[in-house]
Amino acid sequence: MAATSAATFSIGAAISFGPKASQLPQSKPSAMRFSSQNSLTSFSGLKASTFVNCESESSFLGKESAIALRGSFTSKAQKSSHRSQYHLNLQASYKVAILGAAGGIGVNVVVIPAGVPRKPGMTRDDLFNINANIVKTLVEAVADNCPDAFIHIISNPVNSTVPIAAEVLKQKGVYNPKKLFGVSTLDVVRANTFVAQKKNLKLIDVDVPVVGGHAGITILPLLSKTKPSVSFSDEEVQELTAKIQNAGTEVVEAKAGAGSATLSMAYAAARFVESSLRALDGDADVYECSYVQSDLTELPFFASRVKLGRNGVEAIISSDLQGLTGYEQKALEALKPELKASIDKGIAFAQKQPVAA
C-alpha cells in the first residue's frame, strides 16, 4: 500500500523580513516560495501570479540547502531594508492530500494518482481492471471524510475512473458534479508544447484547448482555436493531432516498462492543483481544461475548458465547440462512441459494487 502524503498551501498574508530577520528561529526547513514587492513572479497555468506560496511540513530541500537559502534571503533583506521588504508567508490556508492506495484526510483538495502506470502492451482495459477498485475505495474514504473537497482524479483510465467516482459519491449521497475533476491538463501541456515548437512561439504565450476525453482518439486538440491565432496546413493538423493523442503511448514504449509519463504528469497535476487553489482563494480569472460532468454533448462526461471558482466549476465554456473545422467536427463525432463506452464501463462497475452507507 502506498502512503498518504499531505501538503498545505497558502495564498496571501505575509510576515516581513527586516533588519531583525536574522533572529528568526532556525527550525526544521520548510519547502516554500518567496514573494516580494519587487518582481518575483511565478506562472500559474497561463497566468502570472505573485502571491501563491507553498509550504510543507517536510522540505523539498535538504537541511543544508534550506539553511543556505534562508541565509541568502536574510542577507538580502538586511542589505535592502531601506529600499524594499521581502515577505515570507508562514500561514497555511488550504490543505491538499495526495492519496496513494489507502487513506483519507479531511482537506480542501484531494488528488488521486493511485494505481499502476501503463506498461508496453498494456491496454486501458488492463489498467481499468487494476485501478478501478483502487479509485472506488479512495473515493469512498473521501466521501466519508471530506465530501466537500475538490476531487482531482488522475488514475487512468480517467475516461472511466471519473464516472466511477461520481457513482460512488452518488451512492454516498454527497455527489457535487462541480467539484469532481478528471485531470486532463497533460493533454493541454503537450498540445501547447508541440504547437510552440512547430510555430517557433514562446510556450507561455500558447493556449490550445483540448476537448473530449483523456485517452487515444478521445483526446481532441482544437488547433483552430489556438491562441495566439496561427494557421496550420491539413498535414500539420493531422500530424500534431496524432502526436498529442499518442504522446502517452510513446513515453510508455520509450521507458520500456519503467513507467509512464511520470514527471510531465506531475507537472500537469501541480498546475491544476494550483489553479484550484487560486479559485478557492477567490481569483475570478481561472480557466483550465478538465474532464467533468457536462452538457456540451449528449455524453454525461466530457473534457473542455471550464471556469473555476470557490464552489468548483462555475461555467463550462461552450464557445470552443462552435465554429469547428471540418476535420475537428469529424474527429469529435468519431471519439464519441469510444468515450461513451468508457463512461458506461465505469458506471456499470460502480453500480455492480455498491458501497457501504
**Catalytic residue list:** 214
State the Cα–Cα distance between residues 202 and 199, nearest whole angstrom: 9
**What cell was used for 229?**
491565432
* Cβ burial, residue 82 (10 Å; 0-12/13-18/19+): exposed
Q: Is residue 354 reached through a cis peptide bond, with omega within 30 degrees of 0 on the bond before it?
A: no
Q: Decide: 139 and 152 in contact? Cβ < 8 Å.
A: no
Residue in this structure with the C-alpha cell 478538465, named with its chain if needed: 290
Q: Directed axis angle between helix 124-145 and helix 326-352, to 10°?
A: 60
User: For residue 357, how many other CB atoms are within 10 A of its CB?
Assistant: 6
DSSP 260: S
Residue that the C-alpha cell 473537497 belongs to: 149
